[in-house]
Amino acid sequence: MPQYFFRISHGRYAGASDQAMEFESHEAAWGEMRRICADLLGGVARNLKQDGEWRLELLDAASKPVFRVRLVAETFGLAEP
């Protein structure tokens, strides 16, 4: 079975996992990634800064992204007081 690694871009758990996970298919890997995102997003959103970005990536054995989920906070046209 293919091996995958998770990588988080910012925050308390930033960095790539050093333990590989095996999934039967890309669909199974995508399902696990969605479950992990669901568990983390509440805390991530509470700590997200204006114009900030958070990413969770699933990497293959060669450290190339297979899937990426991004949470982006954008600010548009706010006038400074």
Place of tokens 């669901």: 38
End-to-end CA, the chain = 57
Instruction: Give the model confidence (pLDDT) of 42-74 as tens digits.
Output: 988 998 899 999 999 999 989 999 999 999 999
pLDDT of 30 over the 90 cut: yes
According to the model, what pLDDT value does residue 16 have?
85
Neighbours of 2 (CB within 10 A): 14
More confident residue, 69 or 79: 69
Per-residue pLDDT at 55: 93
Structural domain boundaries of the chain? 3-72
User: Where are the extended beta strands (E) located within 1-81?
Assistant: 3-8, 15-16, 21-22, 53-59, 65-72
Q: pTM of the entire structure?
A: 0.81
